[in-house]
Structure 1
Amino acid sequence: MVDVTALGARVASSAVAPLVRKLLPDPGQVPDDRQALLLALTATRVEDDAAIDYLVRLRSRSALPVRTELARGWRNFDTERYAQEIIAHLDPDGLYFPVADTAELAALRGLGGRPRVQVAGVMRAEELTEGLPPGRLTHLWLNAELPDTDVSWLSHFPRLRVLRVNPRLPRVRNVPDGVEITA
């Protein structure tokens, strides 16, 4: 078996992508969650949509670090295909699904939304209220700078209970009642 630690997470060249995929062990033969995480880290950085076929074999893992890495990896692939083949199958329990742009937001909405969403890219309040299904969202993590610190628009999400805010961002204001702010 190839030491996936040695492969690292630096697979930028598409010329080496097929070679890296061939060197990675079968995820079904790796019972250890740490080893599965290293496989996910490596394969999500193979900037070739053919890597999605490999990642499909990791999507049923229950370990949160593996699911987190798979959720984070979608910006390296075709958004729609990755959403259908990976994101749609990840257990949402405790997992924040990151969205960096409106295409990812739309793909996540097309899957019915998720209870926990991490906004990793700059988006306007209108884009978020249109892109996030109101009845599903319970936890929102604003990790990117907002054009406006007024978050009264969060009242569109009746089930929202936790707002996680990057501590380096300006303090948000007009947080709806019942929403706990964490850093």
Structure 2
Amino acid sequence: MPGSVIGKSLNLGYPGNVSRSADAIIDNRIVKATDTTNIYFGDPVVLNPDNTYSRFGATGTAVTFAGIAVREVKQTLEYITSQGFYAPGQPCDVLSRGPIVVVCNVGTPSAGGAVYIRVATNAAFPAGVIGGFEAAADGTNTVQIPGAKWTTGKLDANRVAEVTLTQRNNP
């Protein structure tokens, strides 16, 4: 293991970690079996009309936003590949209220600032990923999530920051 020097600040955590558990509400539903996309820890999630979850994508809206996928210790079904996601047909834990650690792809969070999710690409923001969290609005290319705020405004070297969902957006 290579030697290292202690830096001035520690990383903020891993995407999907609940950062403060006093006010956390976590719901569990199945990932839609017909989906072709996994829900990775720390991804935004939508609630489907059939009571299943899907990853927030290009068709996601502030109304369908249900929360953020929580990093959980899962029973390993396969020992070769990573278990950092929920696959279609699997139960998925989603934080619907409380603080959680996520990746902020674009912008610099500010304490209490608005949280956006990208729904369309824009060449001016090459780091923007559809379904990714951002701290800067980009017109119709991003959706502002009601009740979501950047908690501290700190951003670590891995672009990890803390978001607090102050209200449940979907039951």
TMscore range, shorter length: under 0.3
Q: TM-score, normalised on structure 1?
A: 0.21
- Where is the strand percentage greater, Structure 1 or Structure 2? 2
Q: TM-score, normalised on structure 2?
A: 0.22
Greater RCO, CA 8 A, separation 6+: 2
- Where is the helix percentage greater, Structure 1 or Structure 2? 1
